[in-house]
A = this chain, B = another copy of it.
Amino acid sequence: MKTINDGDDVLLHLDQKRTYLVRVEVDKQFHTHKGFVELGDLIGKPYGSPLLSSLGVKFHALQPLIRDRIVKTDRRTQVLYPKDIGYLLLQLNIGTGCRVVEAGTGSGALTCALANAVKPDGKVYSYEINPDFQRVAARNIERARLMDYVELKEGDVTEVIDETDVDAVVLDMATPWLVVPRAHLALKGSGVLATFSPTIEQVMKTVSAIREHPFVDLETIELILRRITVARNRTRPQTLMIGHSGYITTARKVLEKESS
């Protein structure tokens, strides 16, 4: 059974809305409005263990999942939700050993999800033009211990993508349509391109650009996630919901003529 070590992250769980991603260290205290907890006490305990605060309130020390890291990531650049990332991973067929190009890195939320899926043999080549975002992303990826599977690149993918024969290219940036020609070059035959865009104008331009290159299986979708309250005589979809995050467009590269 895996136990918590000094230096490990845990997700400290108080209730559905109050969770904290913290690093466990000897003699380190974490203060909350429900009292402080001694994080060092968790060392050697299994994940899922309870932990009482100084005020006697019970927390649980969960193992941080990729989706926790997505949600906890610095949101300045972040519009992708777990629903979108789960769909992207499946559409892009990301699995162990895959080589993936991503742009932009943003806060690294999608990068972490990709890296976790390609490890231990694959690699995520993640491009970002904004060095501030790159710094934030590097910290998030390192914290998730996924940097071995990521190569952070400062560059403009509308001008150059260094990699070739990659399994997938995923674009979460303002002008994905400008990258389509280079994405096509970078992809292997049958490789998948995916873009995520909040506005329909972005989608229109991206789809037009994709149609000018040899791609098949082009489709655009959006995913709507509805949370349901389930409780005796109160079961119903929740009143407030996120109505829209973005559209996901995917296509697969084909080869135009038979190779010799």
Minimum Cβ distance to chain B for residue A164 (Å): 9
Minimum Cβ distance to chain B for residue A49 (Å): 5
Name the one of B65, B190, B242 contacting A47, with C-beta atoms under 8 angstroms. Answer: B190
Q: Which residue of B lies closest to A206 (CB)?
A: B230
| A 5-37 contacts with B by CB, 8 A | 13, 15-16, 19
Does A253 belong to the interface (CB within 8 Å)? Answer: yes
Interface string of A219-260 (1 = CB under 8 A from B): 111111111101111111111111111010100111111110
Given contacts A239-B244, A254-B62, contact A233 B199 (CB under 8 A): yes
Name the one of B227, B235, B249 contacting A199, with C-beta atoms under 8 angstroms. Answer: B235
Minimum Cβ distance to chain B for residue A3 (Å): 9
| A 185-237 contacts with B by CB, 8 A | 188-192, 198-204, 207, 216-228, 230-237
Q: Tell whether, in the assembled complex, residue B13 and residue A48 are in contact, meaning their CB atoms are under 8 Å apart.
A: no
Residues of A within 8 A of B (CB): 1-2, 13, 15-16, 19, 45-51, 60-63, 65-67, 82-83, 85-91, 93, 95-96, 113, 116-117, 119-120, 165, 188-192, 198-204, 207, 216-228, 230-245, 247, 249, 252-259
Name the one of B220, B228, B241 contacting A241, with C-beta atoms under 8 angstroms. Answer: B241
Q: A227 contacts which chain B residues (CB < 8 A)?
A: 219-221, 243
Q: Tell whether, in the assembled complex, residue B82 and residue A96 are in contact, meaning their CB atoms are under 8 Å apart.
A: no
Expressed in whole angstroms, the Cα–Cα distance for A82 and B221 within the complex equals: 12
Given contacts A63-B190, A219-B16, A221-B226, contact A90 B96 (CB under 8 A): no
Q: Tell whether, in the assembled complex, residue B226 and residue A224 are in contact, meaning their CB atoms are under 8 Å apart.
A: yes
Q: A95 contacts which chain B residues (CB < 8 A)?
A: 66, 116-117, 119
Q: A225 contacts which chain B residues (CB < 8 A)?
A: 221-224
Minimum Cβ distance to chain B for residue A63 (Å): 4
Given contacts A199-B236, A228-B220, contact A189 B82 (CB under 8 A): no
Expressed in whole angstroms, the Cα–Cα distance for A254 and B231 within the complex equals: 21
Q: A249 contacts which chain B residues (CB < 8 A)?
A: 230
Q: Tell whether, in the assembled complex, residue B257 and residue A50 are in contact, meaning their CB atoms are under 8 Å apart.
A: yes
Name the one of B89, B117, B188, B221 contacting A48, with C-beta atoms under 8 angstroms. Answer: B188
